[in-house]
Chain A
Amino acid sequence: MKKNFLFSFLLAVAVVISIVSFKNISPQQKLPVPDADNAGLTLPSGFSAMIVADNIGEARHLAVTKEGNIYVKLGGVKNGNGILYLQDENNDGKMEKKTGFADYGGTGMALKNGFLYASSNTDVYRYKLNDKDEVEQANQPEKIISGLLDHGEHNSKSVTLDNDGNIYVNVGAYSNSCQEQDRVPGSMGIPGCPILDSAGGIWQFKSDKEDQHYGDGVHYATGLRNVVGLDWNQQTNALFVMQHGRDQLHDLFPKYYSTKQSAVLPAECMYEIHKGDNAGWPYIYYDQIQQKQILMPEYGGDGKKSADKKYLDPVEAFPGHLAPDGLLFYTGNQFPEKYKYGAFIAFHGSWNRSPEPQAGYFVVFVPFKDGKPSGKWEVFADGFAGEKQLSPGSAKHRPCGLAQGPDGSLYVSDDSKGTIYRIMYKK
């Protein structure tokens, strides 16, 4: 007993010493040399960027290991691989070694407690990692969730995990606004929107249990049209999600919305989600200009009427159609103090703002204090798309996923050309 106690005590001391010394070393850790043009990005003063991998395929979400290697989920299988593992062999920051596995495309990618989690458009898998965070049995993942709906529209599934053994998966609504006829001008909303029973929300499952279906999970939140970016906030111990708001208000209801209004409405919303929350899709949307919930035109709205029932309010609202695909709460020490615990959001860029120019295609930062936004959001990294975006197809790069490296560097994936960026800060 005494021996055990002594052993535990020594172990605890060793752990404390190693943590303290690691903390002391990390700020002096040498950062790689950034690209001379900062990878073509415009960044706040003191920040720099480099391209660590290029042309790798549709790079959706990504995760960085404690060794600094990168797992990337590809939207579609490329050269037989749906997940890529990128390694830096000579410590120059560039990931020259590229291997892959998984025979499915998808979006979700996360690391937690010795496992790599990945999603297709219907299922979620996990792979056991060895002590170097490498997947040893790439052909034998555990399929932990299967049979999630994929009707084409809004079919990507993203994942994040809490600290209590749960995984959260979005299931996007296979519709724009639950019209009787999807995207037909003037078509009204289906009463008691039936899509919501199995889509348009977040489902919670166990992260370590095989072969779970809808019935095994918890219908955690509803009324969320389509979530792609989501993250577990370690400070508030709660789920945060970014909703893609509905499209085409002017196209479908021109008598209530001008093209100018339609280009910025409704808001792309950040929600803090707790079990049982309802964000109101398809019955309401959030108008960031009037700063209130507005009844959807498909359900009797006219652009001004509020809903009788009150739904969950967003914690932050952004202009419409910018398509938030990645969300990350920054917990690193490399960036200046104001970034600590704040949110980075990767906006994929708009398509339904015509005839106004398309917008987005950037990474935004929202400062947080005590778990709430504490200041105005600002564009953090821009220039991904190139000089002019006539249409989404002509954008050079489109930000999608975000990840934090062990030294606090921020990684951004691009699913258009398949570029992985690393953004760094040097005093």
Chain B
Amino acid sequence: MNKIIILGFLLMPFSLLLKNQGDNEIPITHSQSLKDGEAVYNKYCISCHQADGGGVPHMAPPLIQTKYVLGDKEDMIKIVLNGLKGVEINEQTYNNPMPPLGSVLKDKEIADVLSFVRNSFGNKASLVTVSDVKEVKIKQGKQ
């Protein structure tokens, strides 16, 4: 069991490398999305997740190198739309609820802020687009 976990850890950088191929250079048109995303972050996210993305111990989870942030875009979009409670990362539980922001943020704001988070605080992952957000909403039957 332990061996599998260790193997998984060893392979993780490679899998991230594969996943991020082609994302390393963000086109100029996308830099506006990151900038807009930062503004959304500073308005709606910074209190709990903090300026450095480090979160608050036991309350709000960090946004640095976690599966929630670097993983599947759909999962991340769902968290913003529907909220989340009781996350456990590295054996630490985070108890404050993430509020559902589906009725608060526009699709573009969600795409921008997620793109910003996935490319800040040392993270590097593909951008989230407005159509990604719309797709998840359609799947959830909210559009």
Q: Which residues of A contact B (CB under 8 A)?
A: 75, 152-155, 181-186, 247-248, 251, 351-352, 354-355, 390-394, 416
20 A-B pairs besides A153-B97, A351-B50, A392-B56 with CB distance below 8 A are: A152-B86, A183-B97, A185-B44, A186-B104, A247-B47, A251-B44, A251-B47, A351-B47, A351-B48, A351-B59, A351-B60, A352-B47, A352-B48, A354-B51, A355-B51, A391-B54, A391-B55, A392-B57, A393-B57, A394-B52
7 closest pairs, A vs B, by CB? A391-B50, A393-B54, A152-B95, A183-B99, A184-B99, A351-B56, A391-B54
How distant is the Cα of A6 from the Cα of B57 in the complex, in angstroms?
62
Chain A interface main SS type: loop
Band of interface residues on B: 20 to 34
How distant is the Cα of A391 from the Cα of B99 in the complex, in angstroms?
21
Task: Determine which of B51, B62, B99, B101 lies in contact with A182 in the assembled complex, contact meaning CB atoms within 8 Å.
Answer: B99
Most buried by B among A184, A248, A390: A184
How distant is the Cα of A184 from the Cα of B46 in the complex, in angstroms?
14
Check if B96 is an interface residue, CB within 8 A of chain A. Answer: yes
Task: Determine which of A248, A393, A416 lies in contact with B62 in the assembled complex, contact meaning CB atoms within 8 Å.
Answer: A393
20 contacts between A and B (CB under 8 A): A152-B93, A152-B96, A153-B95, A155-B95, A182-B97, A184-B104, A185-B44, A251-B47, A351-B60, A354-B46, A354-B47, A354-B51, A390-B51, A390-B52, A391-B50, A391-B52, A392-B57, A393-B55, A394-B52, A394-B54
Q: What 1/0 mask marks residues of chain B from 91 to 105 whose CB sits below 8 Å from any chain A CB?
A: 001011101110110
| Residues of chain A within 8 A of B67, CB atoms compared | none
Most buried by A among B56, B57, B58, B96: B57
A355 & B50 in contact (Cβ 8 Å cutoff):
no
Which residue in chain A gives the minimum CB-CB distance to B92? A76
| Residues of chain A within 8 A of B96, CB atoms compared | 152-153, 183
B54 & A390 in contact (Cβ 8 Å cutoff):
yes
CB of A306 to closest CB in B, whole Å: 27
| Residues of chain A within 8 A of B106, CB atoms compared | none
How distant is the Cα of A185 from the Cα of B99 in the complex, in angstroms?
9
Check if B30 is an interface residue, CB within 8 A of chain A. Answer: no
Check if B24 is an interface residue, CB within 8 A of chain A. Answer: no
| Residues of chain A within 8 A of B47, CB atoms compared | 247-248, 251, 351-352, 354
Check if B35 is an interface residue, CB within 8 A of chain A. Answer: no
Which residue in chain A gives the minimum CB-CB distance to B47? A352
Which residue in chain A gives the minimum CB-CB distance to B104? A185
Q: For residues 80 through 119 of chain B, which have their beta carbon under 8 Å from a beta carbon of chain A?
A: 85-86, 93, 95-97, 99-101, 103-104
| Residues of chain A within 8 A of B86, CB atoms compared | 152
| Residues of chain A within 8 A of B85, CB atoms compared | 152
How distant is the Cα of A391 from the Cα of B52 in the complex, in angstroms?
7
CB of B97 to closest CB in A, whole Å: 5
Check if B42 is an interface residue, CB within 8 A of chain A. Answer: yes
| Residues of chain A within 8 A of B54, CB atoms compared | 390-394
Which residue in chain A gives the minimum CB-CB distance to B54? A393
How distant is the Cα of A426 from the Cα of B60 in the complex, in angstroms?
42
Task: Determine which of A153, A154, A186, A391 lies in contact with B56 in the assembled complex, contact meaning CB atoms within 8 Å.
Answer: A391
CB of B101 to closest CB in A, whole Å: 7
CB of A102 to closest CB in B, whole Å: 18
How distant is the Cα of A152 from the Cα of B61 in the complex, in angstroms?
14
A184 & B100 in contact (Cβ 8 Å cutoff):
yes
CB of A250 to closest CB in B, whole Å: 8
Q: For residues 38 through 84 of chain B, which have their beta carbon under 8 Å from a beta carbon of chain A?
A: 42, 44, 46-48, 50-52, 54-60, 62
How distant is the Cα of A403 from the Cα of B96 in the complex, in angstroms?
28
How distant is the Cα of A352 from the Cα of B104 in the complex, in angstroms?
20
How distant is the Cα of A251 from the Cα of B60 in the complex, in angstroms?
15
Which residue in chain A gives the minimum CB-CB distance to B60? A351
How distant is the Cα of A267 from the Cα of B85 in the complex, in angstroms?
27
